[in-house]
Amino acid sequence: MVPQSEGNGLPLHVAHALRAAGFQVYFVGGFVRDGLLGRPLHDCDITTDARPGELRNLFPNAEEVGAHFGVVLVRRGNEEVQVATFRTEDSYRDGRHPESVRFETDPRADVLRRDFTINALLQDPFSGRIIDYTGGLADLHNGVVRAIGDPSERFREDHLRMLRAVRFAARLKFDIEPGTLSAIRAMAPSIERISAERVREEISRILTEGAARRGFELLDRSRLLAAILPEVARMKGVRQPPEFHPEGDVWVHTLGLLDLLTSPSLELALAALLHDVGKPPTQTFEDRIRFSGHERIGAAMTREILTRLHYPNEIIDAVESMVAQHMKFKDAPCMTEATFKRFVRQEHFDTLLELHRIDLIASQRPLANYDAVRARREGLQEHELRPEPLLRGRDLLELGYEPGPRFSRVLHELEEEQLEGRITTRDQAIQFIRRAWERAST
């Protein structure tokens, strides 16, 4: 069956142009796989026996995204299609890039160099006929991610395929075929040869594609977790006080949070994964099991981990802040008005609040504190959270005060009084500044 959502779009237009010029043309990869599974269709990949020069002639405005590999990107409006020449590849010395490629005329040769059988299915763009050279249809039916041919050889060619196997199995709710899983376990340490950026992208997709818990359980089973996130792997077996965490150790608790993620932002998903990463190094056994300062240690570890994986600074800052603050909610009922307003007006507070909610659920605790904080926050208007300053630095200059470090201190104290509701007028603010300045002088 031809995917109906694409029947009149750019993929079929490109396929018509290739077929009219006398070339073989097929849809291939995830587009075919997801169509057969009834999943939403995304980017379409096309494979053909047209050589790179012939593709440039047919599509003169196409972008060459892999000239050495015979890959061009054809765009029209918001649509894009990747078109690749049939090829085979030679030795992969760096575990990522082939030393050389050979262009082929046989589609079978092309699919045999791909990663998994479920990604190697070809589809005729016009009849919808499926061509299966690797047993991918049976593996789709049985819910199996299986490497094509010798799995060790496939993973030596591109080490990142090990992480992709985990991601596909998690997202599709498939199993990893035993021989494929065994090869991953044996070769897991070699993932360290892959660039941090590519590992980061796979981790991010595992966390946000809807099956984060399953993904991290598979990372653990495959031994990849210890290789890429040893700090997370160390959560296993770290006992917690049963009166606060009847669900189990730190690893079990973290999996519980991942299980509760629903279409999460990347910031929330990373915070759920790392919020207790500081517990293993801070565990002590006193009157009970304690993790004193784990949020502070965990925040520093979070910055180190995300920096190592080359996450953008804005992501690192947001997640580090949430890890550092996730224990603050226990103090929220006792917070003064000013402290509470400062707490809830920060940029990522809604995400932090959601982290608190799933943290409570994963710990089998009631949501009373979450509900109270949310209700108190919703009862505040924007002007109450961020009141217009009654006085600024220029006002202090006009009042005759000399600029210096004292400016920021007294203005901060003035804002505190505003947030508490004790000062509401400019005259009150001036009187407060005068008193504060005198106190500082004496």
Whether 433 shows a pLDDT value over 50: the answer reads yes
SS (H, E, C) 339-350: HHHHHHCCCCHH
Count of helices and strands (H, E) across the chain = 24, 13
Contact, 37 vs 30, CB < 8 A?
A: no
What is the CATH code for 229-385? 1.10.3210
Distance, CA of 137 to CA of 146 (rounded, Å): 11
Distance, CA of 9 to CA of 22 (rounded, Å): 21
pLDDT for position 91: 58
Place of tokens 């599509």: 59
310 conformational bin, left if phi > 0, alpha if psi -120 to 50, beta if neither: left
Classify burial at 286, counting beta carbons within 10 Å of its beta carbon; exposed 0-12, middle 13-18, buried 19 or more.
exposed
The 10s digit of each residue's pLDDT in 275-317 is 999 999 999 998 899 999 999 999 999 999 999 999 999 999 9
21-47: average pLDDT: 94
Least confident of 70-84, 165-179, 236-250, 428-442: 428-442
The 10s digit of each residue's pLDDT in 83-98 is 999 998 765 555 556 6
Whether 249 shows a pLDDT value over 50: the answer reads yes
pLDDT for position 314: 98
Helix, strand, coil % (nearest 5) of the chain?
A: 55, 10, 35
pLDDT for position 98: 62
Q: Which two tokens stand for residue 227?
A: 């290789």
CA angle 15, 17, 22 (to 5 degrees): 95
Q: Which two tokens stand for residue 359?
A: 């943290």
Distance, CA of 170 to CA of 388 (rounded, Å): 49
Pick the closest to residue 141 from 167, 165, 114, 121 (CA basis): 121
Whether 425 shows a pLDDT value over 90: the answer reads yes
Distance, CA of 82 to CA of 70 (rounded, Å): 10
Domain boundaries, given as residue ranges, for the chain: 4-142, 229-385, 393-441
Q: Which two tokens stand for residue 279?
A: 């517990």
Distance, CA of 46 to CA of 57 (rounded, Å): 17
Give the model's confidence band at 1: pLDDT under 50 very low, under 70 low, under 90 confident, else very high: very low
Give the model's confidence band at 5: pLDDT under 50 very low, under 70 low, under 90 confident, else very high: very low
404 conformational bin, left if phi > 0, alpha if psi -120 to 50, beta if neither: left
| Sign of the torsion angle spanned by Cα atoms 147, 148, 153, 154 | negative
Contact, 31 vs 15, CB < 8 A?
A: no
Q: Which two tokens stand for residue 308?
A: 């190592």
Q: Write down the pTM of the prediction.
A: 0.90
Distance, CA of 169 to CA of 143 (rounded, Å): 8
Distances 236 to 187, 233, 355, 379, 402 between C-alpha atoms, Å: 22, 6, 21, 41, 58
* Domain 4-142 sits in CATH 3.90.1150.10: no
Distance, CA of 130 to CA of 27 (rounded, Å): 9
Give the model's confidence band at 409: pLDDT under 50 very low, under 70 low, under 90 confident, else very high: confident
Q: Which two tokens stand for residue 269?
A: 């998903």
Task: Compute the mean pLDDT over every residue in the chain, rounded to the nearest whole number.
Answer: 92
pLDDT for position 68: 72
Q: Which H or E element spans position 71? A: strand 71-76
Could you count the other beta carbons within 10 Å of the beta carbon of residue 39? 12
